[in-house]
């Protein structure tokens, strides 16, 4: 009986350890795509009072352009809290813009009109 209990306990520990080593997601996946040219594209969609992605972590190489592909049902503006700060206006429909960040760190991109964080740009 004692041997069976030890074996069962060992099995539970192994399952927990193996399960913790999986490559799970924290839910904040980005919709960015590295392009063959070295430029990364971030797809952003505004529909009603929602934005996608929302709070995604996007890795960006310092000094490398980040293409923003914005699809929106009404015009608006993205605020990029870099140094210096940048504003990116977009129209209803499709807007493509390019952003280059030179300083390493985390830069927040948000919609003040919706009061929502669109992405955290991790500049390396």
pLDDT tens, position by position, 84-121: 999 999 999 999 999 999 999 999 999 999 999 999 99
Other CB atoms closer than 10 Å to residue 97's CB: what's the count?
A: 16
DSSP state of 34: E
User: Cα–Cα distance between 106 and 81 in angstroms, integer?
Assistant: 9
pLDDT confidence of residue 33: 53
List the chain domain ranges: 2-31, 35-123
Q: Determine the CATH number of domain 35-123.
A: 2.60.40.420
Note the pLDDT tens digit of each residue in 54-78.
999 999 999 999 999 999 999 999 9
pTM for the structure as a whole? 0.70
């Amino acid at each position: 009986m004692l041997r069976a209990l030890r074996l069962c306990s060992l099995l539970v520990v192994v399952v927990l350890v193996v399960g913790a080593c999986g490559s799970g997601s924290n839910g904040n996946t980005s919709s960015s795509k590295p392009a063959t040219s070295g430029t990364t594209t971030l797809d952003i969609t505004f529909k009603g009072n929602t934005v996608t992605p929302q709070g995604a972590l996007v890795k960006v190489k310092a000094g490398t352009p980040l293409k923003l592909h914005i699809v929106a049902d009404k015009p608006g503006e993205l605020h990029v809290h870099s140094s210096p700060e940048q504003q990116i206006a977009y129209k209803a429909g499709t807007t493509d813009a390019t952003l280059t960040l030179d300083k390493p760190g985390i830069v927040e991109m948000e919609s003040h009109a919706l009061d929502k964080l669109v992405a955290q740009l991790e500049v390396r």
